[in-house]
Structure 1
Amino acid sequence: MPETPPTVVILTALALEYTAVRAHIRDRVEHVRPEDGTRVEIGRLAGTPWSVALAELGEGVANAAATTTQLLTWLRPQAVLFVGIAGSLKSDVAIGDVVVGTKVYGIHGGKWTPEGLLARPEAWRASHALVQAARSAVRDMTDVRPHFKPIASGDVVLADARSEIARQLRAHYDDAAAIEMEGSGAAHAAHLNGQVHALVVRGISDLADAGKSGTDATGSQERAAARAAEVAMAVLRKHGPRDATTGTAAPGTASGAEEPSRGGDHIDFSHGTFHGPVVGKITGRP
């Protein structure tokens, strides 16, 4: 029986984010979870032993939490990454930069009083191992301007820097460098799982202000998604899977070189944890 390769799940919310990550994944095969119809494409990242399961979840914290839980139960990955775009909350975090979330805030907890909102923040810290892999990876990425900072996450699109929610972010989440809509849901699901490394990687596509629509129209979202995907792939080349016998992490591969061919450049996913029927196979390279 062929050995099932170690798995990492990469989550995206938007189609353009999915496309950016998909461009890096080879030999993709679509799988369907019979219980609920959840679909992923499973392929490989060249130069690594990882089997990569790529999912497009749609927008929103609750949706991200529920679907991430389903995927973790189904695929039993060693790591989960949420990769996509975000708005900047800091003057020194520019469009095109990448924020690696050292922790993710759930921003909607609180109590409204006559004095205003008394915040009751929730936060989930990123995997230390994945943050360390990211710090190592970006040192050699001279075209990437990275920030290792917290990320704010909630069901809101921020397009007004003078809004009440913007003021609340500055008052209660002042260290957050970016805002997005799904990371806290995925991070919470990973935390409850207890056995999986988790990391959020976001490319900055706008400044979370009144100019957002005009900035998006320039193609900034596609460029930011591509940059986040590049960083995520570099992280996986640094972060090796746990050894099945010892439970320790193997060293990653920094070179990004092609891995040796496995039986005609194909991985057999017919055994192991991927029980959904194969409904389509992409044989070409991205």
Structure 2
Amino acid sequence: MQETKPTVLVLTALALEYTAVRAHIEGREDRTHPGNGTIVEVGHLPGTPWQVAAAELGEGAKNTAALTASLIGWLRPEAVLFVGVAGGLKEDIALGDVVVGTKVYGVQTGKQTPEGLLNRPETWHGSHALLSAARAAVRDLPDVRAHFKPIATADLVLADAGSEIARHVRERYNDAAAFEMEGAGAAHAAHVEGRQVLVVRGISDRADAHKASADASGSQQRAAVQAAAVAVALLHKYRPRDGRPTDSEEGPQGRYGGDHIDFRGAVFHGPVTGKQTGDR
């Protein structure tokens, strides 16, 4: 019985983010989702047991959530990483630093009343095992300054530090260190599907009026490269789960594997209730 390689799904929004990730993957081959046509490149990460499936999804949390869920159902990865760039929200975090999301906030949820916006926050925590692997990995990356902090997500580009949404984030999500557009979508889909998930973002601008000039200086590319370096390094530390089912053990009906005994005494393979492993 041949065992399939454990898979990690690495997602990006932008082409430059994808290029930074792609540079680390060897033996790449295109695969096309049979339903929605999304193209992923599947290859291996040298020095690790991981098969990596990488995809560039485009911008926006809703788009990301839908496509992430679809790709998880198709590829059945053990973990999902969203890797890319973000705007920095803290003065002590420099351009080119990397923020590893201890949690991801969806910041546009609430109820608008005459008294103001009443928050109804949505939060997804980064998976403990991936965070632990990232903490161990960055110790061996002297050229990377990494911060383990919350990340705020909204379906907009923040280029005005004095805007209403910027004030909202500072007041209501004061511990957030980075602002971006897709992390909440990826985190939500991964949690629903019971997968480990982590958002890794390089800081490319200050989420203010100087964003365009910062991007033009090459800060986006450097931030993307640094974020990809952290993602790859953590996968050298993160290990596949013991007892991982193979495709043949799962069968066409079973995403998570496991044996069930039916009433006729025969064994069939299907999903085992309670064996999803995502942090909640």
What TM-score bracket applies, with the shorter chain setting the length? 0.7 to 0.9
CA distance in 1, matches of 2:86, 2:123: 18
User: Which residue does 1:166 correspond to in 2?
Assistant: 166
SS at match of 1:229: helix
User: Which residue does 2:14 correspond to in 1?
Assistant: 14
* Per-residue deviation, 1:166: 0.6
User: Which residue does 1:232 correspond to in 2?
Assistant: 231
SS at match of 1:134: helix
User: Which residue does 2:55 correspond to in 1?
Assistant: 55
User: Which residue does 1:184 correspond to in 2?
Assistant: 184
User: Which residue does 2:114 correspond to in 1?
Assistant: 114
CA distance in 1, matches of 2:2, 2:244: 16
| 1:11 counterpart letter in structure 2 | L
- After TM superposition, the score normalised by the length of structure 2 is 0.86
Q: Does 1:243 align with 2:237?
A: no
CA distance in 2, matches of 1:246, 1:209: 47
CA distance in 2, matches of 1:55, 1:102: 23
SS at match of 1:155: coil
SS at match of 1:73: helix
CA distance in 1, matches of 2:148, 2:111: 30
* Per-residue deviation, 1:85: 0.2
CA distance in 1, matches of 2:229, 2:245: 30
| 2:177 counterpart letter in structure 1 | A
* Per-residue deviation, 1:94: 1.1
* Per-residue deviation, 1:246: 9.2
User: Which residue does 2:70 correspond to in 1?
Assistant: 70
| 2:209 counterpart letter in structure 1 | A
SS at match of 1:244: coil
User: Which residue does 1:212 correspond to in 2?
Assistant: 211
CA distance in 2, matches of 1:31, 1:246: 22
- Structure 1: which 5+ runs fail to align? 248-271, 274-286
TM alignment of 1:257-272, pairs within 5 A: none
User: Which residue does 2:274 correspond to in 1?
Assistant: none
More relative contact order in 1 or in 2 (CA 8 Å, sep 6+)?
1
User: Which residue does 1:142 correspond to in 2?
Assistant: 142
CA distance 1:179–1:245, change in 2 (3 Å): closer
CA distance in 2, matches of 1:169, 1:33: 36
SS at match of 2:185: helix
CA distance in 2, matches of 1:245, 1:86: 34
SS at match of 1:54: strand
SS at match of 2:240: strand
User: Which residue does 1:34 correspond to in 2?
Assistant: 34
CA distance in 2, matches of 1:118, 1:91: 28
Alignment coverage as a number of residue pairs: 248
| 2:129 counterpart letter in structure 1 | A
- Where does structure 1 differ by over 6 angstroms across 4 or more consecutive aligned residues? none
* Per-residue deviation, 1:111: 1.2
User: Which residue does 1:86 correspond to in 2?
Assistant: 86
**Deviations 1:56-93 (Å, cap 9, x if unpaired)?**
00000000000000000000000000000000011111
| 1:16 counterpart letter in structure 2 | L
* Per-residue deviation, 1:120: 1.0
Give me the identity figure in percent: 67
CA distance in 1, matches of 2:208, 2:155: 16
* Per-residue deviation, 1:245: 5.6
* Per-residue deviation, 1:17: 0.4
User: Which residue does 1:98 correspond to in 2?
Assistant: 98
CA distance in 2, matches of 1:68, 1:172: 28
- Structure 2: which 5+ runs fail to align? 253-280
Which of 32-41 and 101-110 deviates more?
Answer: 32-41
CA RMSD of aligned residues (A): 1.5
User: Which residue does 1:280 correspond to in 2?
Assistant: none
